[in-house]
Structure 1
Amino acid sequence: MIATGSASQFTVRSSEIDYRGQATLPALVSYMHEAAWENTVTLGISMYDLLKQDMTWVLQRMRVEMFRYPRHSEKVSVETWASGRERIFMHRDFRIYNAARELLGQATSVWLVMDMVKRQLVSLPELITSIEVVPTEEPLPFAKGKLPQLQEALYELQIPVRWHDIDLNRHVTNTRYLQWALDSVPLEVLEQQQLREVEIIFRAESLLGDTVIAAVAPAEAPSTYLHKLSSQETGKELVQAITKWRGLES
């Protein structure tokens, strides 16, 4: 029996902040990914372990809730643990704390395994299922159910996939999709409000040379936006998301 939780330490760098001096959400999600990677290394199920069997981890869904954004040079601890497992899903949770143990944010995520040769999802291999998942924390509520569909875009961006958008799996890294979704939000929202929650579903991969259309429109609920990222070449939906915003911190 192995405890599946661990903590990783980070310091918010100048390249990871917005004009307010606060860490951006893509930067914080990158911390979560790094903490998850370090945790899977200790469990013997890291991406490198899977790549030896021509498989890899892919993120299928994530919900992030932020209570306060850390500032430049602030030290944070990202705690993560495997919170559950199904036939093809691994659930992983996160909490972000500052040095005073103030809870800054939390997230739930769902991970799948992809066959790198066939580029198809597969059941969790024995390498993973042989590990008994013993959550070190109470699991956060899973992100599940359908998100509202964006019907008519208020605004669209056309984004060519460049070399530095591609990750170890040779497709667009998921934090880039998150960044593109947020970039499509109206400027007055970005300037006058702050993102408090995002839920994002990754439906298909995009490769070098593709062009991604990032579309956004207001939802029925106030200060809420619906997002859809799709392939210009195929029309296939790549990402669906919903963002919720609040007034700026004083």
Structure 2
Amino acid sequence: MKSVTGQSSFTIRSTETDQNGQATLPALVGYMQEAAWDNTATMGISMYELLERGLTWILQRMRVEMFRYPKHRESVTVETWASGRERVFLHRDFRVYGADRELLGQATSVWLVMDMVKRQLVSVPDFITAIEVVPGHEPLPFAKGKLSSLEHVSYEQQMPVRWHDIDLNRHVTNTRYLQWVLETLPVEVLEKQQLSEIDIIFKAESTLGDTVAATAGPDEEANTFLHKLTSTETGKELVQAKTKFNKFESLGI
């Protein structure tokens, strides 16, 4: 079997928008993951198929670029395809389109396979590697390399892990981590600037009852911030991220 490109359509709901009536990035990443689920289901390797074997998909890294955020009731189409494979790392790309094929954003991601019982990463099973990767489009540059470490903390919050933060894998869902990364920044940044890029690495699990310390600080590059999420229970670093913002004026908003 060969991999195929998937296409899923969504309409922005009011509960997925911010105070400007635009879709939030966590909502858009949620659409991407739903499109990935649809696409893998056509090849028999969706999360449900993996769970039947005691396995699951784990998102390890994602780099997103947004050119324009869709608004409430706007329809978008997410295209996604397997873009490559490196040892245990499976790459998947996304493009988000508006009306008339306007490219609103794009993303590249890295996925791993985890044993649900042992809570350990495993080699990619044969039933997945048997699928020949045929990229539907020119692959985006893989998300590779280290991010700069957060050395000087300017902003900090405590995020208790609650029931609705947990997903099917029984740990904090990655879109919640993404939300916490952004919410650590001061309101004046979120109000006056628009997130244009994020590179986020998911490094460890957090579960119900944990408390997450979310920290952030400016990077050397203008309008750019470094982020870190840490478990206060275990001391483990959960997430590392880098965000880049543009002023609303430059986006024509």
TM-score bracket for this pair, using the shorter chain length: over 0.9
Match of 1:69 in 2: 69
Q: Which moves more between the two structures, 89-98 or 151-160?
A: 151-160
Q: Percent identity?
A: 70
Q: Within the alignment, does 1:80 sit opposite 2:83 as a pair?
A: no
Which runs of 5 or more residues in structure 2 are unaligned?
A: none
What is the CA–CA distance in structure 2 between the aligned matches of 1:235 and 1:77, rounded to whole Å?
A: 40
Q: How does 1:84-95 map to 2 (within 5 A)?
A: 84-95=84-95
Match of 2:154 in 1: 154
Q: Which amino acid in 2 is paired with 1:231?
A: S
Alpha carbons 2:58, 2:111 under 8 Å: kept: yes
Match of 1:198 in 2: 198
Q: How does 1:89-238 map to 2 (within 5 A)?
A: 89-238=89-238
TM-superposed deviation, 1:4:
2.0
What is the CA–CA distance in structure 2 between the aligned matches of 1:99 and 1:68, rounded to whole Å?
A: 12
Q: Which amino acid in 2 is paired with 1:7?
A: Q
Q: Which moves more between the two structures, 2-11 or 140-149?
A: 2-11
RMSD between aligned alpha carbons? 0.7
**TM-score of the pair, normalised by structure 1:** 0.99
Match of 1:50 in 2: 50
Q: Which amino acid in 2 is paired with 1:121?
A: L
Q: Which amino acid in 2 is paired with 1:229?
A: L
Q: Once the two structures are superposed, what CA deviation does each residue of 1:57-79 show, in whole Å capped at 9, x if it has no partner?
A: 00000000000000100000000
| Large movers: runs of 4+ above 3 Å | none
Q: Once the two structures are superposed, what CA deviation does each residue of 1:141-199 show, in whole Å capped at 9, x if it has no partner?
A: 00100000001211111011000000000000000000000000111100100000000
What secondary structure, in the 3-state scheme, does the structure 2 residue paired with 1:138 have? coil
TM-superposed deviation, 1:86:
2.0
Q: Which amino acid in 1 is paired with 2:68?
A: R
Aligned residues: 250
Which runs of 5 or more residues in structure 1 are unaligned?
A: none
What secondary structure, in the 3-state scheme, does the structure 2 residue paired with 1:194 have? strand
Q: Within the alignment, does 1:24 sit opposite 2:24 as a pair?
A: yes
**TM-score of the pair, normalised by structure 2:** 0.98
What is the CA–CA distance in structure 1 between the aligned matches of 2:3 and 2:174, rounded to whole Å?
A: 27
Q: Which amino acid in 1 is paired with 2:157?
A: L
What secondary structure, in the 3-state scheme, does the structure 2 residue paired with 1:175 have? helix
What is the CA–CA distance in structure 1 between the aligned matches of 2:31 and 2:87, rounded to whole Å?
A: 27
TM-superposed deviation, 1:89:
1.0
